[in-house]
A and B are shown apart, each in its own frame.
Chain A
Amino acid sequence: MKPAPFDYVAPATLDDALGALAAAGDDAKVLAGGQSLIPMMALRLARPSVLVDINRLRGLDGFREASGILEIGALVRQRALERWAAGRAPLFTEVLRAVAHPPIRNRGTVVGNIVHADPASELPALLLCLEGVVVARGPRGERMIPADRFYRAPLTTALDAQELATAVRFTLPPAGAGWGFAEVSRRHGDFALVGAVAVLMRAPDGTVARARLAFFGAGGTPVRGAAAERALEGGAPTSALIGEAARAAAAGLSPDGDIHATAAYRRQVAGTLAERTLTTALARCGGGAS
């Protein structure tokens, strides 16, 4: 299980990296953490002619937090985000705990995971739930791609072959927001069979001011639970309403089956997990009456 031959470049600047991508055509792959790419190459399922290793680029390994937006550079390892989040952003902490294992998170980058676009991965759904944005640089400059327009199909995104995702931006849940995260996986650290992440905010009158719900492992891309969000916003968050909202969101899903779970399982449990995460999120809401 050795990768097929390839050429390797490790540019020192972003422009050089973009130049290398442009020169290589469709056949190049960006190497950041490599935790998904290298095994695919070892299995010869991926056979890039050129690897563009971006690990030597400067300025991509930082966090920037301003006005409720957290920007994470393309070389920030998942483990670094975990450390940043400790005691500060429990939703991130809980989500990252479910992403593989520490030795993988030490290498794997947040942006790489998001751009790899595995539909069963947790971080893309988190990006969707937190209305995030992917910052992409290409030959024609920089553009922002909102999460809900980023994912096209399994392992397929709106990024062009010659573009590089330089950062992602999450909208951090404001103070008082409640959150919930749940997934079913065969083993700890595995990709989820199905999972959900939710954020709720309540108005002073106790009604739901804002609801965000996203599923993973429930289709070819991460999926926003828009039906649930609509059903909840403006309503009094009773357990009946939450159950109804969760079922509405799950009904709209069209997951696939595989050797680990049937499509019917994923749809049904997506509803169960949506109900559980929304209920947990509600219980964690500050502010409004309970």
Chain B
Amino acid sequence: MGAKYFGASVRRKEDPRYLRGEGRFVDDIKLPGMLHVAFVRSPHAHARIAAIRTDAATRLPGVAHVFTFADLERWMKPLPLFGAIPPGLAARVVVTMKQPHQLAMCRDEIRHVGEIVAMVLAGSRAVAEDGCELVEVDYEPLPVLADAEAAARPGAPVLYPAWGDNVALSFKAGFGDVETAFREADARVRERFVIPRYVGMPIETRGVVARWDPRDGAVTTWNGTQVVHFVQQGLAAALGLPLHKIRVIAPDVGGGFGTKANGYPEDLLIPAAAIAARRPVKWIEDRREHMMGSAHARAQVHDIEIAARRDGTMLAVRDRIWVDLGAYNSWGIVLPYNTVAHLLGPHRVPNLDVECLGVVTTKTPNAPYRGAGRPETVFAMDRIVDCLARELAMDPAELRRRNFLSAADLPYELGIPYRDGNPLVYDSGDFKAGLEAALRAVDYDALRAEQARLRERGIHRGIGISSYVEGTAIGPYEGATVRLDASGHAVVATGACCQGQGHETSFAQIAADALGIPLEAVSIVGGDTAAIPFGVGTFASRSAVNAGSSIHEASGRVKDKLIAAAAALLEAAPADVLVADGMVTVRGAPTSAIPIAKVIQAAIPTFARPGVASPDFEATVYHHQPTVTYTSATHVAVVDVDAGTGSVKLLRYLVAHDCGTIINPVIVEGQIHGGVAQGVGGGLLEEMVYDEQAQLLTGTFMDYLVPTAMELPPIETVHLEYPSPRNPLGMKGIGEGGAISPPAAIANAVEDALAPFGVRVTRTPLGPSVVLDLLDQAAGRRATPA
């Protein structure tokens, strides 16, 4: 089969509707008699609720209902959990883990600012908000936990008293003999790095609409989620309904980035309210709610140490990690173990010793966001590598060159399992070649020469490098049903859900190639539990490999059925039947070409004849992906730092990456650009700031700073293609990669720019005030040498 569409930058099929304003997002759904919801959310970080009085709100004209926990109690089962420890992992890593129950609405105790206390249903959102102001809640404040590391110390107030401490998760992992390696090393460098809380922040907030159909005893809910089947399972358990009585639809979704791949209270509260109120119900999260009620991310502290020989050969890494989980631990092993599994990345390091603690605090829960543990761990590793380079007086590119794995080393097994419990074996790639490609593309040597010249003129230019190896396309599966209709058009249903990645195009490219029909003849349906019974969803850079492989295989099976019918119709041997561009031909008889629709129609029985074959042109394949594919990249950032104001200007940003075979190059490039932009945000602008009372200080877009076009340079990309042996088309995942390295690359560049001052960067975001403070600290160190 010749690939006609795979690898081509075809225009996206979904774009015209978005461009014309004809997309359909959750907020665009309007049902007759619909009520609007606003929530009463806790202003306290930690408090016991002594009383809630709802009478005044209920009496407000326009308010239909006010619900508290007690009103919906029959459905208030604990929210579903992710991140159980797979057996393969449990066999090799001893993990202590506790996952407290989280209720959709607070019963008696509040554990973070923004937790839901009550809900008001009214004829309009404005009136619902008026109603919320009339709900009186008596809070008895309890001690707060604003800092994860402090919360892990003995003597800290305990959030879940039965535990005895606040450590929800802990484990050690590693290999080799780290003690000896450190003892025998020529150089040892140690530093503490802080990765702040920053978040996905899609421009469309979350939203849920739900309708209860008493005739069918069924719920239909539209939810801007990345995981429709997961939401369906949670609803089935809480509402006590069979799965097929719950239809979850993710319509057009305005960005997800992991933030919408979570299990949320509102996923349940809105359908439950629709059942209780016997009317359709809509809730659209406002931006302020999003800031406190949608999952936060990152938030780690690393005490990391590296040992090396004088020639730069890395000998060992030791790291102690605190992950601030926020108030619950619904993601279990996912973030902490991702962090550990990705620490070493492209470096060959023979000895590793890591201890990781997941700590609960009275803050918004932490959940995976584009990269999910990798940006954090890469920040720690790539910063300590740059610190080592400085210690050894070696160029940071040269130090990396001496330690990166290359194609000859692969497949390469790290001495710890992956999060899925399978051995952690890099499947394909050449990390050293990727580094060299990046250095060549930015003209690294010329940049260094220019830097030296500029320094003489008082211009502080810096160059920063960061590289990662990323397990992508985590399984265990995704499925696809491919079906031809009587007009020869294909409908492909999959459990993958799209939030802007272009599934309707890239999946159609795979299906059209495998079916032998034009791209225009393929429709993709994702994000609808009625379209396919089982699914996992879109997150973790998994959809191209998992859903794409299913679509490829299922399309092939449908094509086989088509060929069998055509062979019967044309009285040819199946091996002689060719399908291309929607036409069927018999080998050697090009004039015999007929449209595939004719074959399909010939299979449908009429009164005059049976069909030439069963009119079953449908196949379902659930692709099993036991373990991940490894994507890799090197990023280079070039900055100028104004030493008078601390302002950092990002001048250039280059990515050299491998994501296996590429379905649609321009879509891949767009994924990289978007990921980089979010990473740049984390490096320079974005942080969810809490005060010591665990009060959230970043409540609006005036405080939480998403980068604009003026803070971003053009993003340069170099594509390298090392196909993965782990799926039929050689693909790897690319959704998250762009976001992994920018904080590290930028921090390295800023430290490089200010190297003459002896600045050491240990945290992001690098706003002007932070940078000037670093300069002051460095000046202080110089004034009082230790």
B647, B707, B710, B773: the one contacting A184 at CB < 8 Å is: B647
Interface size bracket, B side? 20 to 34
Separation of A269 and B770 alpha carbons in the complex (Å): 13
Number of interface residues of A (CB under 8 A): 25
CB distance B711 to A2 under 8 Å?
Answer: no
CB distance B130 to A5 under 8 Å?
Answer: yes
* B470 contacts partner chain A, Cβ-Cβ < 8 Å: no
Q: How many A-B residue pairs have CB under 8 A?
A: 68
User: Inside 8 A of A269's CB, which chain B residues have their CB?
Assistant: 644-646, 768, 772
Separation of A3 and B46 alpha carbons in the complex (Å): 28
Task: Tell me the B669-708 residues at the A interface (CB within 8 Å).
Answer: 685, 689, 697-698, 700, 702-703, 705, 707-708
Interface of chain B, main secondary structure: loop
B133, B702, B711, B768: the one contacting A193 at CB < 8 Å is: B768
Q: Mark B231-272, 1 if CB is under 8 A from A, else 0.
A: 000000000000000000000000000000000000000000
CB distance A260 to B769 under 8 Å?
Answer: yes
* A1 contacts partner chain B, Cβ-Cβ < 8 Å: yes
Separation of A272 and B643 alpha carbons in the complex (Å): 10
Task: Tell me the A135-194 residues at the B interface (CB within 8 Å).
Answer: 184, 186-191, 193
* A261 contacts partner chain B, Cβ-Cβ < 8 Å: yes
A2, A189, A262: the one contacting B773 at CB < 8 Å is: A262
CB distance A187 to B126 under 8 Å?
Answer: no
CB distance A265 to B125 under 8 Å?
Answer: no
Chain B proximity of A170: nearest CB distance (Å): 27
CB distance B769 to A261 under 8 Å?
Answer: yes
* A43 contacts partner chain B, Cβ-Cβ < 8 Å: yes
* B129 contacts partner chain A, Cβ-Cβ < 8 Å: yes
CB distance B288 to A43 under 8 Å?
Answer: yes
CB distance B697 to A4 under 8 Å?
Answer: no
Chain B proximity of A47: nearest CB distance (Å): 10
CB distance B129 to A187 under 8 Å?
Answer: no
Given A1-B287, A188-B710, A265-B773, the answer on whether A259 and B768 have CB atoms closer than 8 Å is no
CB distance A1 to B286 under 8 Å?
Answer: yes
Q: Mark A265-280, 1 if CB is under 8 A from B, else 0.
A: 1001100110010000
User: Inside 8 A of B697's CB, which chain A residues have their CB?
Assistant: 259
For A4, the closest partner residue in chain B by CB is B130
CB distance A186 to B645 under 8 Å?
Answer: no
Task: Tell me the A219-246 residues at the B interface (CB within 8 Å).
Answer: none
Chain B proximity of A263: nearest CB distance (Å): 10
* B202 contacts partner chain A, Cβ-Cβ < 8 Å: no
Chain B proximity of A177: nearest CB distance (Å): 25
A189, A191, A259: the one contacting B689 at CB < 8 Å is: A259
CB distance A187 to B768 under 8 Å?
Answer: no
Separation of A184 and B646 alpha carbons in the complex (Å): 9
* B767 contacts partner chain A, Cβ-Cβ < 8 Å: yes
CB distance A188 to B705 under 8 Å?
Answer: no
Most buried by A among B286, B645, B647: B645
Chain B proximity of A242: nearest CB distance (Å): 14
User: Inside 8 A of B130's CB, which chain A residues have their CB?
Assistant: 4-5
CB distance A259 to B698 under 8 Å?
Answer: yes
Given A269-B644, A269-B768, the answer on whether A43 and B708 have CB atoms closer than 8 Å is no
Given A2-B126, A259-B697, A265-B772, the answer on whether A189 and B708 have CB atoms closer than 8 Å is yes
User: Inside 8 A of A260's CB, which chain B residues have their CB?
Assistant: 703, 767, 769
6 residue pairs bridging A and B, Cβ less than 8 Å apart = A1-B286, A186-B768, A189-B710, A261-B767, A268-B772, A269-B772
Complex A-B, nearest 5 residue pairs according to Cβ-Cβ distance, in ascending order: A188-B710, A2-B126, A261-B769, A1-B286, A265-B769
Q: A2-B125, A2-B126, A44-B129 are in contact. List 14 more A-B contacts (CB 8 A).
A: A1-B286, A1-B288, A4-B133, A43-B288, A184-B768, A186-B705, A187-B705, A187-B711, A188-B708, A259-B697, A262-B773, A265-B772, A269-B768, A273-B645
